[in-house]
Amino acid sequence: MAPAAGEERADAAALRPSIRAVAALAGVSPTTVSHALSGTRSVSAATRERVVQAAAQLGYTPNRLASGLRMRRTGVVGLASDRIATTPFAGRIVQGAQEAARERDVVLMVVDSEGDPGLEEAQLRALLDHRVDGIVLARMSHQEVARPAALGATPAVLVDGVPAGGWRLPAIAPDEEGIAATAVAHLVAAGHRRIGFVTTTEDAPASRGREAGFRAALDAAGLAGRHGSSTAVERAASDAAGGRLAGRRLLDRPPAERPTAVFCFNDQMAMGVFQAASALGLAVPRDCSIVGVDDLEIVAAALEPGLTTIALPHREMGRWGMATLLDRIDGGTVAGAAGAGGTPTDAAAPVLLACELVERGSVAPPPPAAG
């Protein structure tokens, strides 16, 4: 007769090496084994090495459930996002969070609300029912986020978002004004003096920040008076069709008035501007240089010439969010971000992360006849 499930679990537990067996083999106490393997208290390097070798020899692994009950933790953290399945960058945020979780021996549970606030509330309650230690609330585009009621007092951090409605928690987002400043500086360095901006009609931190950065960068370069009015900016939907529409409005002008370079809200709009330029008989970058944002490789690397773009730090934001959450759970301070510094755990202002210029072939000096 086959053993019952309960008997199988009992047999497995009996065969599992015990912490006392590891202690006996390493010549230390069970308490020292626990400290050496968990890192909760300092032990000498030599002792830790003996314990690790003994545990490996016996095939011993700590009982996560038992240690979690003692510490009132489960070692499981949730990541709740709005559009993992349909956003090309979602995997990078999850990858960064997973890396930081793995380094701290934490398991990550991921849910996707598909942009449905009601579903997100239900998913957050489900994560809390599973007794997660905290939650990374991630957005796949930089936006304002109100506190979900289901969170309660659970430790949380916000990735790629700005807390709204007086909510105070650690948050990280791209430096949107810095993105525009980097793009404009690159175009100015190439010799451009007439620079246009194709942006989205959506009102969000990303669109507001990039437009503010664009105008400030033109002003800093002494170009605002020359081509810094509203005629330098065209708005449309944030996809390739919108880019074609806005790009045609911007580029279908007499040569003396036409921008010699265009900064685009994202790579999809940049692809549309490529198409608009081609339809008007303009070559990129000979007649018009183009810079995008996102480093969406399926677009940026596939265009001919390749699109110069600003890469958003999704992986870094995911890693920062997880490390910061785990520090908060442990009662520490919020982790710093490269180039951003640290901030208190209840800081209202998000950490702004610098973004990298990825050069391909879509930027060149302006045509010799351009004034």
* Nearest CA among 162, 178, 182, 181 for reference residue 170: 162
- DSSP for 209-241 reads HHHHHHHHHHHHTT-HHHH-SGGGEEEE-SSHH
Q: 76-169+314-353 domain in CATH 3.40.50.300? A: no
How wide is the angle at C-alpha 311 spanned by C-alphas 234 and 334, nearest 5°?
115
Judge whether 14-60 and 176-312 match in fold. no
pLDDT, residue 114, reads 83
Under a CB-based contact definition with an 8 Å cutoff, are residues 363 and 184 in contact? no
Residues of the chain with pLDDT under 70: 1-16, 38-41, 62-73, 85-86, 225-231, 332-348, 370-371
User: What pLDDT, in 10s, does the model give residues 115-166?
Assistant: 888 999 999 999 998 889 999 999 888 889 989 999 888 999 999 999 998 8
Hey, what CATH class is 14-60 in? Answer: mainly alpha
pLDDT, residue 348, reads 53
Structural Rg of the chain based on CA atoms? 26
Tokens 């309660």, located at residue: 152
Element (H, E) at 177: helix 176-189
Under a CB-based contact definition with an 8 Å cutoff, are residues 112 and 81 in contact? yes
Q: For residues 89 and 268, give the distance between their C-alpha atoms in angstroms, rounded to a whole number.
A: 14
User: What pLDDT, in 10s, does the model give residues 234-256?
Assistant: 999 999 999 999 999 999 999 98
* Nearest CA among 22, 25, 52 for reference residue 37: 52
Under a CB-based contact definition with an 8 Å cutoff, are residues 322 and 100 in contact? yes
Under a CB-based contact definition with an 8 Å cutoff, are residues 122 and 151 in contact? no
Residue 196 tokens, joined: 């246009």
pLDDT, residue 36, reads 81
Phi–psi pair at 122, nearest 5 degrees = -65, -40
End-to-end, the C-alpha distance of the chain in Å comes to 91
Q: For residues 347 and 171, give the distance between their C-alpha atoms in angstroms, rounded to a whole number.
A: 8
Domain 176-312: CATH architecture, name and number where available: 3-Layer(aba) Sandwich (3.40)
Q: For residues 288 and 353, give the distance between their C-alpha atoms in angstroms, rounded to a whole number.
A: 29
Which DSSP state fits 337?
Answer: B
Under a CB-based contact definition with an 8 Å cutoff, are residues 127 and 80 in contact? yes
27 burial via Cβ count (<10 Å: 0-12, 13-18, 19+):
exposed
| Global confidence as pTM | 0.76
Q: Where are the domains of the chain?
A: 14-60, 76-169+314-353, 176-312
